């Protein structure tokens, strides 16, 4: 009897799930590759799309969240205190993983479009995108280091919270524009689109934007990694040549 009840509940669960209206993202990008050149001063990504449905539009308003995350890396955040009139590093905390760039664009206030439990599950907000498992026993305020990291990267446009930046038209079309700063780390940038209703995620779509150095920037980057000695000698030779050229030009101007 217990087995029959379990099977009945399972069937009812599947039936209820099948009756829920499915909504999926059909996405478009203005570009899926960003090239970093010698004169690169940033870029702007236009993200647009539509909602594909199998049933009529539900009455509850649809909200859209777009996130772009650069390659993650571990890092150490240090705290400075003033000792004997000078600033010195005191405490340090290890951040296990933090994206080199992270932007969150929403169609409304963040706390209205996504519930706290859903944020915990999908790690959408900036603070949830940073992973810091533990801290040394002598550090009692480890979260202060995470907040400091967020503040510093926000000041450098590497972390962005863009509330209300996603435009939603008739609960079917959406678009947003996200600026990428000049100081980008190369690699794949994970892009996620969430559809929410009542703060709950009803659909999710993922893609990637490739950010890579090209031309001379790519050659110098590869050389610095594969042949650091040659890269150092080349840098020294360029510095000497530039200094000699500037000195020669100055002498010519004085003689003229």
Overall size of the chain counted in residues:
256
Greatest mean pLDDT among 1-10, 24-33, 135-144, 148-157: 148-157
**24 has a pLDDT exceeding 70:** yes
**8 has a pLDDT exceeding 60:** no
- 25-29, 102-106, 178-182, 224-228, range with the lowest pLDDT: 224-228
Residues 6+ apart with CB under 8 A from 172: 50, 51, 57
- 16-20, 51-55, 59-63, range with the lowest pLDDT: 16-20
CATH topology of domain 21-213: Immunoglobulin-like (2.60.40)
| Across 59-80, average pLDDT | 88
Domain ranges of the chain: 21-213, 214-256
- Shortest CA distance to 103 belongs to which of 74, 124, 122, 118? 124
The DSSP element (H or E) to which 89 belongs, if any, is strand 86-99
* Beta strands, E only, 100-225: 102-106, 159-162, 167-169, 173-180, 187-197, 200-213
| CA atoms within 13 A of residue 48's CA, in its CB half-sphere | 7
Instruction: Tell me the three state secondary structure of residue 124.
Output: coil
Q: Whole-model pTM?
A: 0.73
Position 18 scores a pLDDT of 42
Residue bearing tokens 């702007």: 44
Residues 6+ apart with CB under 8 A from 66: 47, 103, 104, 105, 106, 166, 176, 178, 191, 192, 193, 194
**12 has a pLDDT exceeding 60:** no
């Amino acid at each position: 009897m217990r087995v029959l009840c379990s099977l009945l509940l399972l069937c009812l669960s599947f039936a209820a799930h099948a009756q829920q209206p499915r909504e999926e993202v059909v996405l478009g990008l203005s570009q899926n590759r960003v090239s970093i050149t010698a004169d690169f001063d940033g870029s702007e990504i236009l993200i647009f799309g539509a909602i594909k449905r199998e049933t009529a539009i539900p009455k509850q308003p649809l909200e859209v969240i777009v996130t772009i995350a650069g390659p993650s890396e571990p890092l150490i955040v240090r705290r400075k205190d003033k000792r004997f009139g000078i600033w010195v590093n005191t405490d340090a905390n290890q951040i296990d993983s933090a994206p080199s760039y992270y932007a969150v664009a929403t169609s409304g206030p963040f706390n209205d479009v996504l519930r706290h439990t859903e944020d915990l599950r999908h790690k959408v907000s900036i603070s949830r995108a940073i992973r810091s498992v533990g801290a040394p026993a002598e550090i009692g305020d480890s979260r202060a280091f995470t907040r400091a990291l967020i503040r510093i990267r926000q000041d450098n446009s590497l972390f962005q919270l863009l509330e209300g930046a996603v435009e939603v038209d008739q609960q079917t079309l959406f678009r947003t524009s996200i600026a990428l700063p000049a100081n980008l780390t190369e690699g794949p940038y994970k892009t996620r689109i969430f559809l929410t209703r009542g703060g709950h995620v009803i659909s999710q779509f993922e893609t990637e934007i490739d950010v890579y150095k090209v031309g001379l920037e790519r050659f110098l980057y590869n050389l610095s990694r594969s042949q650091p000695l040659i890269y150092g000698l080349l840098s020294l030779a360029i510095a000497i040549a530039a200094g000699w050229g500037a000195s020669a030009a100055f002498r010519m101007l004085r003689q003229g």
